[in-house]
A and B are shown apart, each in its own frame.
Chain A
């Protein structure tokens, strides 16, 4: 056991001091850089993606077309894009918002767009057909059901988000 008093030499003292102050300064410089570097990751991505499109009370069991505009950024190109959805109340009272984009080659489908096929969505380009719930009619061109918009209801207003492929039943 050494009872010897710990001596801090002049060299050690300077080393400690400089490392401490230097480290503090370096941290002060690097912290904002790191924050900027990872900033986009920290941005809440869901914010602003939902748009108010209709009052829930106005929605009936008949699919109605709703339109809204979003600011879209493709790389450096910013533009306003009009989005549309077919919205209606299902039998259980829940709301279904279907994307009008045909899953065949991307045309826009219409509700009862062809007199021969009542109660169906119809694609004018190649005769694609979908049942009211958005599921594609077998043996018509589309190979998948219409995409479904994410939706939420706040204070009686319907908000729609992104359109997502329908999960396999």
Chain B
């Protein structure tokens, strides 16, 4: 379910079935011209992928609004803010909390976060291109298998 009026009517009715939270992580980077495009593409992929996962598992996944962060070379990743987000959702009965990202920088700080990191390597090319979308679909299918394996524990 998405953070949308229509979905929330359903969420209120069926809360006990929605035990999994997905937070997409969206980077913003406008300093280095050679990286701007890359990061914008990464954001698009993340949003597209998050929606695809939500669409597949609508009845069990709550898709959080995206966590957006500035990514400059001088500052460290804002793990404290993200941890606050996760802590807020912790009050609610979500059994599984996933962070969805194409940014490998999060992989290094994974241990500081109280959630499972779903990281996919970014692929170049637009989502609209047939070849790119084929690769992305395959990646997402594997990611969805992974999410299901968490459910079977």
Residue positions of A touching B, CB distance < 8 A: 102, 104-108, 123-126
Is B148 an interface residue when CB atoms closer than 8 A count as contact? yes
B60 touching A105 by the CB < 8 A rule? yes
Given contacts A124-B148, A125-B17, A126-B17, contact A105 B10 (CB under 8 A): yes
**Chain A residues in 8 Å Cβ range of B96:** none
Residues of A within 8 A of B148 (CB): 124
* Closest 10 pairs between A and B when the two form their complex, measured CB to CB: A105-B59, A125-B60, A106-B58, A107-B59, A125-B59, A108-B56, A106-B59, A107-B58, A107-B57, A124-B148
Q: Chain A contacts of B14 at CB under 8 A?
A: 105
23 sampled A-B residue pairs with Cβ under 8 A:
A102-B59, A105-B14, A105-B17, A105-B18, A105-B60, A106-B58, A106-B59, A107-B56, A107-B58, A108-B56, A108-B57, A108-B58, A123-B59, A124-B57, A124-B148, A124-B151, A125-B17, A125-B57, A125-B58, A125-B59, A125-B60, A126-B17, A126-B59
List residues of B whose CB falls within 8 A of some A CB. Answer: 10, 14, 17-18, 55-60, 148, 151
**Interface of B (DSSP majority class):** helix
Instruction: Tell me the minimal C-beta distance from A114 to chain B in angstroms.
Output: 10
Please name 16 further chain A to chain B contacts, defined as beta carbons within 8 Å, in addition to the given A104-B17, A108-B55, A108-B56, sorted by A numbering: A104-B59, A105-B17, A105-B18, A105-B58, A105-B59, A107-B56, A107-B57, A107-B60, A108-B57, A108-B58, A123-B59, A124-B57, A124-B148, A125-B17, A125-B59, A125-B60
Q: How far is the CB of A143 from chain B (nearest CB, A)?
A: 12
Task: Report A48 CB to chain B, min CB distance, Å.
Answer: 22
Within the assembled complex, what's the spacing in Å between the Cα atoms of A105 and B11?
9
Distance in angstroms from A115 CB to nearest chain B CB is 12
Specify which of B55, B56, B59, B151 lies most central, judged by the most chain A CB atoms within 10 Å of its CB: B59
Give the Cβ gap from B138 to chain A, nearest Cβ, in Å. 15
From residue A101, how far is it (CB to closest CB) to chain B in Å? 8
Closest Cβ neighbor of A102 among chain B residues:
B59
The CA-CA distance from A22 to B10 in the complex, in Å, is 58
> Bound state CA distance, A106 and B7, in angstroms?
10
Residue from B10, B55, B56, B60 within 8 A of A126 (CB atoms): B60
Question: What are the residues of chain A within 8 A of B55 when measuring CB–CB?
Answer: 108
